[in-house]
Amino acid sequence: MDDLHDDDVLDAVGPRLRALRRDRGITLAHLAATTGVSESTLSRLENGQRRPSLELLLPLSRIYDVPLDDLVGAPRTGDPRIHLKPMKRFGMTFVPLSRRPGGVHAFKMIVPAQPERLEPTLKTHEGFEWLYVLSGRLRLVLGERDLTLPPGEAAEFDTSLPHWLGSADGGVVELLILFGLQGVRAHVRTNPQQSSQGGNQR
């Protein structure tokens, strides 16, 4: 039984590595150049055709800034607390709230205070994003649309559209984000008798 459990854990490493790489927008070629591991080995590792080893996982753990236990999905023992590790990207703080590989990933995102109004730099990438503003006023630039979302408002959009997130008034903004690969969307149930005003922005 233990052998079967170990096999299940190892089989899940490949999809987890692929999800991490795609979340960070890294190509196999770039990862190979950075880690010194061949592109074909990395591809076979992600596809489950190559068994993970410490020699392969250590450089990936450093590049992704993820503990080895998280890469292999090792169960935590003794301490029931969830230890969240914030990440800094694009000048913002992301706190991962989900641990499963693939599917929809949940993050708490913190936009720092911005004394000077920033000029948006729109980006595109594969996926679909749903967000909910917890506090502050979020500025969402989506294509030619420039929206301001106060606390309690939500938005969802295809991230292949040029987009940018920032503070609308220079203050700190906190929001929840659900991010999935292309075709994976958040489904929100609403009361059909309620007005559609406010709510999600598309």
Residues 16-42: tens digit of each pLDDT: 888 888 877 889 998 999 889 999 999
pTM (2 d.p.): 0.51
The per-residue pLDDT for 99 is: 62
The edge-to-edge listing of strands for the beta sheet with 145-149 is 145-149, 138-142, 163-167
- Tell me, letter by letter, the H, E, C secondary structure of 6-23: HHHHHHCHHHHHHHHHHH
Q: pLDDT tens digit string along 107-133? A: 888 998 887 777 888 888 888 889 999
Asked whether the beta carbons of 120 and 164 are under 8 A apart, the reply is yes
Q: pLDDT tens digit string along 74-101? A: 555 545 555 567 777 778 888 877 765 5
Higher pLDDT, 10 or 57: 57
Helix 54-64 and helix 28-35, axial crossing angle in degrees, nearest 10? 110
pLDDT above 90 covers what percent of the chain?
Answer: 26
